[in-house]
Each structure stands twice: as structure tokens, then as C-alpha cells.
Amino acid sequence: MAETYALRVQIESHEYDGEFYLIGEGYGTPADVLENVAADHLLRIANAPRIEEYLLDVLKHEENTGEAEYEATDSNVECWIHVDVSYQRYAFGIGDRVFEFSGEPTKSEIVSIVTQLQS
């Protein structure tokens, strides 16, 4: 049986306030999900000139799933990303455990969190 992850992406901005869901296989630890899935989304959000461009890209590539499918998925790992675009606040979490970024996330900061999760 493949390892399954579920990732909730919450975004707050002046233009958009909501969440969407990602489900996938192949990553069975929070560190794996951050390194291989969540990091990509955090960096894409941080580098998007406008949040709408990121959201349209997600829809265009059909990366997201519906809330009902997300809730029904029996995943090995459930994580979340929270982004407050207006205040440039970014976080990655597993349950109640939260890792906040000092500003826009960088690859080195993500690697540091992945290392913490692996220990």
C-alpha cells in the first residue's frame, strides 16, 4: 500500500481568503511532504507577483481536490500550510506543531525545518 499524504493550503489576502486541499502518494512523513510538496507551494506563493496567479496555476494543473475527498482520505500524513499574503506570514504545520518562517520562505529555511522534522 502506497504512503498517502493530505495537505491543506490556507491562504489569506485582500483578494482571496480560503483553503484548498492536495492529496497524493509517495510521501509518508511530514518531512517528506514539506520537502517534496509543501515547499514547492510555499515558494510558488512567495514568488507569485499576485496570489491570483498562483491560484490559477494550481487550478490549471488540477493539483487540488475537494474538501469531501480530503476528509474521506485515509492518509498516513496530514499537514497544512498557512499563508497570510498581506502580512507576509508563512507557516507549515502538522497537527498542533507549527513551524513559522521569518518572512518569505527560502530553500535554506525549508531545508532547516525538514532537518528538524527528520530528527
Whole-model pTM over 0.85: yes
- The DSSP 8-state label assigned to residue 32 in this structure reads H
At 27-71, the pLDDT tens digits run 999 999 999 999 999 999 999 999 999 999 999 998 899 999 999
Q: How far apart are CA 47 and CA 98, in angstroms?
A: 22
Number of domains forming the structure of the chain? 1
Residue-range definition of the domain harbouring residue 33: 4-118
Residue range 5-24: mean pLDDT, rounded: 93
Q: How many CB atoms lie under 10 A from the CB of residue 16?
A: 13
Cell numbers describing residue 79: 499537514
* Residue 38 · residue 92 · CB < 8 Å: yes
Q: pLDDT confidence of 14, banded at 50, 70, 90?
A: confident
Query: Which pLDDT does position 79 carry in this prediction?
Result: 97
Q: pLDDT confidence of 101, banded at 50, 70, 90?
A: very high
Residue 11 above 60 pLDDT? yes
- The DSSP 8-state label assigned to residue 65 in this structure reads B
